[in-house]
Amino acid sequence: MTLDDDLNRLRNAARQRDWGALQDALTRLFMQLEFFTALEIALTRLHDHVPVFERDHPEATWARKLLVSVVSFGVAPNELPPEAGQPYASPGAANFLAGLFDLLRGVERRTPIENRARFLVSAVSNVILADLAAFWYGQHPDAWALQQQRGDEMDADTGLTVRQQIYAQFWLDDTVAQRDTAAWLALADDVEQKAKRR
C-alpha cells in the first residue's frame, strides 16, 4: 500500500468519522515518515492545545515545560513532575494529558519504533478529542457541571448514565462533527506536505 493510498484512507475515514480506520491509516502513514517528522506533527498539535489547558489550570505550567523538553532533547525526561499525577477537571484536560503521556512514551529510547508510531497516533487522537471537548463543553457549561456532579447516575428509561447521555449529545453535535472531520483532514494535508518534502 502506498502513501497516497493511506492518505486516501485517512481522508475517507475522516469524512465518515471512523476513528478506528483513522488511527490505523495514520499509524501506517507515520510508519512511512521519518520518526522525527511524525513527532513534529504530534508535538505541534499538543503544543497548540497548551493555552487551552493553561487557561483552565494556570498553575500547571509543567505540561508546557515537558513539551519544551521533548523539543529540546528529543527524548522523554527520566521522571515526571509530581503535579502530573494530580487530577485536572476541565473539558478536554484528561484527553490532553493522555496525549502528552502517550507522546512521552513514544520518545522513550527503549520503545520499539513500531510502538513509537502508535503512541504518537494516540497522542494526536487524544489532542483532537481534547479540542473537541473544550469546544463543546465551553458552549455547554451546564452539561459539564451536570456530568461532574451526577455523571454516574443511571437513567431508568434509557439504561444509560448521565455521563453517557451527555457524551452522546457531544459526539452527535453537528458542529463537533464538522470540527472532528476538519481536524483529521488538516492532519492528512500536513502529513502529505511533510512526506513530499522528503
Give the pLDDT band of residue 23 (cuts 50, 70, 90).
very high
pLDDT over 70 percentage in the chain? 99
- State the Cα–Cα distance between residues 131 and 180, nearest whole angstrom: 9
Q: Is 88 left (phi over 0), alpha (psi -120 to 50) or beta?
A: beta
Q: Which of 90, 94, 96, 93 is nearest to 67 (CA)?
A: 96
Contact indicator for 41, 124 with CB cutoff of 8 Å: yes
- Counting residues of the chain whose pLDDT is more than 90, the rounded percentage is 76
Confidence of residue 3 (pLDDT cuts 50, 70, 90): confident
d(CA 67, CA 101) in angstroms, rounded, equals 10
Q: Given a cut of 70, is residue 198 above it in pLDDT?
A: no
Reported as a single tens digit per residue, the pLDDT across 58-114 is 999 999 999 998 988 777 787 888 898 889 999 999 999 999 999 999 998 888 888
Amino acid 151: pLDDT:
81
Is 70 exceeded by the pLDDT of residue 148?
yes
